[in-house]
Chain A
Amino acid sequence: MIEKQKISQRQAVFFIFSTAFGTIIYLISAVIHISGREAWLAVFIGPILLVPLAIWILFLGRLAPGKSIMEILEMVAGRIIGRAVAGVYVCISIALTALMLRSIGGLFRIFVLPLTPEWFTIMMILLLATFIAGSGIEVQGRLGEVLQLLLLTVFFAGLGLGYFTEANAAYIFPVFERGIGEFAGGTYLAVGSVAETLLFLFVMVAAFPRPQDFYPAIIKGYAWVAVILGGAVLTFIVILSAPEAARITYGGFNAAVSLQIGKFVQGVEIFVMVALLLAVILKVTAHTYGSWMAANSVTGNWHPRLFLVITALITAFMAIRVISFNEAYFLSIMLARYVTLPFVVFVLLITTAGVLIRGGKAVRKRT
């Protein structure tokens, strides 16, 4: 029987994918804008480059099974540093969630529910995500297993139509039309965006029954992200051409509007909308759970449910405060470039330094 609040390797793969896929809302156009027609390759390589960092997290997790990276940091670096880092983690997670919510809120207001206030759609998604996050990581894992299959099916079912009607191989050849600098820039943006998965891995590692068994699952997860995100970007380039795809927003929703076969098959953008909504729900759930767990580290597990509500309320406030989809778009890119990845590396460095100073055995003893 599965242990409570532990997740399986398969669920770990899906968690990595679910925290990464939501970035598609801003990543596609931003990466294609920087790297041109080789953007799909940049997005394919980006997640692979994060594998060493993920393995690093697992390595630290092995020292104290059942503990998150923030808890391990608190063990090796003391309460003040540990809780300060956990506090920063909460802030970054809340910011990422709020921007994601604002982006999807904008999509729905513009294309689907023009008369419904944006805050209402944001609150509905956040409410559902908070319920799910509150039910624990095990239930999230199970839900993710089902929703991601659905998500991928509807997403590629929607865009797959474009392969029949709009695809043009000339849009992707020759692959390297721009310089190595642009390619590296696009790759770095992809790395920074997908680094959100590492943030969640900080918390997720506490739910691994034996972290040392999860190396293959983690590698598989990033490979999966590379293939799917790279495939999605490639699809948009093949259907629209790189210059056109660089101008699309909302994860390709507006591009899918134009897809049609004859007079009857149309409206496939609804599939993309459903896929994006599912992706956002999963991502918001994961980050809400992550920030909640980190908040519990800060407060020493004082009234944990209360802090779930507080985290959700702050997220809602932040999401509504963001002025527009455009602001959310540029703030997301800024976080991906300058905040997420540097923070992850910083935490891993100080945790490792603490472990080296204290000694791995001392950490194991304290666990």
Chain B
Amino acid sequence: MGLLSGLTGKHKKNGKKQPDRDPLPSEKQVRPISSYLDENISIVTEIFGEDAVTLRLKIGGEVQAGIAYIRGLVDNNTINQHILSHLLNNSAGEKPHPRYTLKNIIGSGLLTVANVKETDRLEQVIDGMLNGDTVLFAEGETIALLLGTKGYEKRAIDRPETEITVRGSAEAFIEDLDTNISLVRRRLRIPDLRFESYVIGRLSRTRVRLAYIEGVINPKIIEEARLRIQRIDVDYLFDAAEVGEFIEDNPMSIWPQIRLTERPDTLVANMIEGRFAVFVDGVPFVLLAPVLFWQNLQTLDDYVEKPLVGTFFRLIRHGAFYVSLLATPIYVALVTFHQSIIPPLLALRIAGGRETVPFPSIIETLLLNLAIDFLREAGVRLPRAIGSAVGILGAVVIGQAAVAAGLVSPALIIVVSIAAISTFAIPAVSLSNATRVANYLLILLAGTLGLFGVVLGMVYFLWGIVSMRSFGIPVFYPMAPGELYGLKDIFVRAPAWTMRRRPSLLAPDNQVRMGESAVKPGPKHRGGDGTSD
């Protein structure tokens, strides 16, 4: 019943639809701060239980006060050195002072933490404590101070795991939002870099930042992004990809319309072209949008290498994409329907290999494709050392055994292996995964309708891609709608000095990204008589 109601989306009890309810903050917490210190401390203790650390003290020897924070979310050094030592020293009465109040404590130099906020609402106190602040209450006062003491364990900045480049930067985002923002700020030292704050998740209260460069990004795009982010209302926000699912234009399509990157340099390069980024606290990937289809086949290495070399490798990646998508369906179509167009010698070889195979080629191909996908999934989920062993075992041992047993033909093993290897050459994991899914449909069409089916399938997929938009930008741009200038960075990687403008749909108001002096290097541009110093 529960599963059924889950599937049908009907969550009704006693015939009445349950009202939407925000579990935090509860009615008890939405209230002003009490003037009684004990009451404030007891509420905090009641809410956070064992995790709450509370301490009572006297400020200036006379003002009854108390601090509270949540264990594990704060930096203990900051609390000890910049709060407690000052307050406790003063409690001993070493520095006489006219009666302290929480308001004049801020300007008295008694606290040496940088981030101090005043509040009179209990829900803000709770929210602050959940974000690592320490709260300071005082007897008889209806305000509290939130002291910025955030600090928790986080891993160090590491090398990228999924977007490996040969010569690019070796820094990757980590799970800490503030560190990730600093990685971007270090690369874009401009005041126009904007970070807008959101808190998403009724239960998780996850911090989210929308980042963009004002004056570069199309204002309509950022306005739309804001609206879509504000609409997200979930219990728990677990990943940037979940944000993507809520804000992308065609969530049911298999083709990517957003991009998740773990590289700060990739992120900055995209923001400079007029895209926005969404940072989610606790996630080492940052969402980028709007995304063009072609970006999934580009890597940072293209721009680090010489233009011609970069172009060559980009074309290799384009080729790998088509091979991964089409190699097996075309094989199935040729073997099943169009034997006459295969050169006779090759046809004989293939037929010889298939002599003992008991399955039709479509079944044979689907089974082998499934086996490859099982192996791949197993390799990804298992620990690294075992994963590679499974890959070798699957590829060599099972493949050899299957051919020896006459269950699959050697030619098919070659075709499926080449197709599988080609998917690894696609830089974007989301495109690579979409290709795997599309591949199955194309194999089915090839096995039932030959090349006619493959062409229909390809047109269907192409139609799906060209009809998609990412925040109003057609994802197949600049190929369709066509823009000749934009093609400089699609199939080829034109020299840097020729890519003077940003994509016109992404940044219509600020297209020029290079100065007049940025021209093709050569003797005539060195000035004087053309000789260098």
Which residues of A are at the interface with B, using a C-beta cutoff of 8 A?
1-2, 8, 10-11, 108, 112-113, 116, 121, 124-125, 128, 131-132, 135, 139, 141-143, 145-147, 263-267, 269-270, 273-274, 277-278, 281
Contacts and interface: CB of A to CB of B under 8 A. Distances in A.
B472 interface: yes
A139 B466 contact: yes
A265 B344 CA distance: 10
B455 A277 contact: yes
12 contacts: A1-B220, A1-B505, A2-B481, A8-B482, A11-B481, A116-B449, A141-B480, A142-B481, A146-B462, A264-B346, A267-B338, A277-B456
Interface in B178-225: 218, 220
Interface string B460-500: 10110011000011101001111000000000000000000
A131 B481 contact: no
B341 A135 contact: no
B370 interface: no
B481 A278 contact: no
A255 to B, nearest CB: 15
A2 B469 CA distance: 11
B521 interface: no
Given A1-B505, A146-B480, A263-B345, 18 more contacts: A10-B481, A112-B337, A112-B338, A112-B450, A112-B452, A124-B456, A128-B463, A131-B460, A132-B463, A135-B463, A135-B467, A143-B466, A143-B467, A264-B343, A264-B345, A266-B341, A270-B341, A281-B459
B451 A112 contact: yes
A113 B474 contact: no
Contacts of B140: none
Interface string B132-172: 00000000000000000000000000000000000000000
A270 B459 CA distance: 16
Contacts, number: 97
A10 B485 CA distance: 14
What are the 6 closest A-B residue pairs judged by CB atoms, nearest first? A267-B341, A142-B480, A142-B466, A145-B480, A139-B467, A264-B343
B26 interface: no
Interface string B117-131: 000000000000000
Interface string B433-469: 0000000000000000111100110011011001100
Nearest to A7: B481
B455 A278 contact: yes
A10 B482 contact: yes
Contacts of B467: 135, 139, 142-143
Contacts of B473: 1
A146 B472 CA distance: 20
A267 B340 contact: yes
B319 interface: no
A139 B480 CA distance: 9
B344 A143 contact: no
B460 A128 contact: yes
Contact of B463 (A1, A108, A131): A131
Contacts of B463: 128, 131-132, 135, 139, 143
B25 interface: no
Interface of A is mostly: helix
Of B220, B455, B473, most buried by chain A (CB within 10 Å of CB) is B455
Contacts of B459: 128, 143, 147, 278, 281
Contacts of B482: 8, 10-11, 145
B342 interface: yes
B93 interface: no
A321 B452 CA distance: 22
B352 interface: no
Contact of A273 (B343, B451, B462, B466): B451
A144 B89 CA distance: 78
Contacts of A267: 338, 340-343
B222 to A, nearest CB: 13
B523 interface: no
A250 to B, nearest CB: 14
B122 to A, nearest CB: 46
Given A112-B451, A132-B463, A146-B476, A8 B341 contact: no
Nearest to A270: B341
Contact of B481 (A8, A116, A265): A8
Nearest to B460: A128
B508 interface: yes
B481 A274 contact: no
B273 to A, nearest CB: 16
A145 B341 contact: no
Nearest to A139: B467
Nearest to B474: A142
A15 to B, nearest CB: 13
Nearest to B484: A10
A112 B452 CA distance: 8
